[in-house]
């Protein structure tokens, strides 16, 4: 059974709504064969990543960088996964108040180092999530799950 791993740091209602929308997207009946494993970034492990066919990462930008919990996740999994997850499909959403630049740059650097395959542009959301933002999260979840299942390129 194809498996999608959703790694998230969710410290506020805004981020909770984004995570929920991602999971709603994966709940599409067309993706019923995909197993979804959801892990807070502070407890997600290298084994979780190694066992997944696709990964969604989401959380805040803090102090001009990825939130510490997301950095901790990548710090932990980087070398254990480096050789064995090349080409892993992934997508990501980042949330902040006004400036996501440092987080977007960091995410690009880290995932380029891991040689993961981004299935769509990183979704950046600032302020209160709009209906369009939530729809984009649903699509992000669905597209990543479908790619993990081999239903998309
Ligand atoms: C210590 C701290 C630093 C932050 N730094 C940034 C930042 O550099 N850029 C940004 O857009 N938002 C920043 N934020 C806002 C958070 O990203 C935001 O609080 C988080 O995404 C949750 O959203 P919410 O507070 O609207 O619920 C920061 C928040 C905190 C607490």
Q: How far is the CA of 60 from the centre of ligand 1 (A)?
A: 6
Produce one character per residue of 62-91: b if its CB has 16 or more CB atoms within 10 Å, e if not. Answer: beeebbbbbbbbbebbeeebeeebeebbbb
For residue 150, report the phi and psi dihedrals to the nearest 5 degrees: 80, 15
Strand ranges, E, within the chain: 3-8, 35-40, 54-62, 65-66, 89-96, 117-118, 123-126
Cα 149 → chain centroid = 16
Each of the 153 residues of the chain gets a pLDDT tens digit; together they read: 999 999 999 999 999 999 999 999 999 999 999 999 999 999 999 999 999 999 999 999 999 999 999 999 999 999 999 999 999 999 999 999 999 999 999 999 999 999 999 999 999 999 999 999 999 999 999 999 999 999 986
**CATH numbers and ranges of domains, the chain:** 3-148 (3.40.50.360)
Nearest Cα neighbor of 60 from 14, 117, 1 is 14
**In whole angstroms, how far apart are CA 62 and each of 43, 128, 153?**
19, 16, 33
Q: Please classify residue 145 by burial: count the beta carbons closer than 10 Å to its beta carbon, then call 0-12 exposed, 13-18 middle and 19+ buried.
A: buried
- Cβ atoms 46, 83 nearer than 8 A: no
Q: Any residues with Cβ below 6 Å from ligand 1, and which?
A: 12-15, 60-64, 95-100
Best residue among 18, 96, 100 to mutate for probing ligand 1, ranked by most atoms within 8 Å of CB: 96
**Of 97, 99, 128, which is best to mutate to test ligand 1, by the most ligand atoms within 8 angstroms of its C-beta?**
97
Return the pLDDT at 152. 86
pLDDT at 153: 66
Work out the burial of residue 150: count CB atoms within 10 Å of its CB; fewer than 13 is exposed, 13-18 middle, 19 or more buried. exposed
Which atom of ligand 1 is least distant from the CA of 127?
26
Quickly tell me which residue has 């990183």 as its tokens. 122
Q: What is the pLDDT of residue 60?
A: 98
Write the residue with the smallest CA distance to atom 12 of ligand 1: 96
């Amino acid at each position: 059974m194809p498996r999608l791993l959703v790694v998230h740091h969710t410290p506020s209602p805004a981020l909770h709504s984004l995570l929920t929308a991602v999971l709603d997207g994966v709940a599409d009946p067309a993706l019923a064969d995909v197993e979804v494993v959801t892990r807070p970034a502070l407890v997600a492990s290298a084994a979780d990543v190694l066992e997944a066919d696709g990964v969604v990462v989401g959380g805040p930008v803090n102090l001009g960088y990825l939130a510490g919990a997301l950095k901790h996740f990548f710090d932990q999994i980087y070398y254990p996964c480096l050789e064995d997850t090349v080409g892993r499909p992934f997508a990501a959403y980042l949330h902040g108040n006004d400036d996501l630049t440092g987080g977007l740059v960091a995410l690009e650097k880290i995932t380029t180092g891991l040689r993961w395959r981004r299935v769509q542009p990183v979704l950046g959301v600032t302020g209160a999530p709009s209906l369009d933002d939530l729809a984009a999260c649903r699509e992000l979840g669905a597209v990543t799950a479908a790619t993990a299942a081999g239903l998309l390129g």
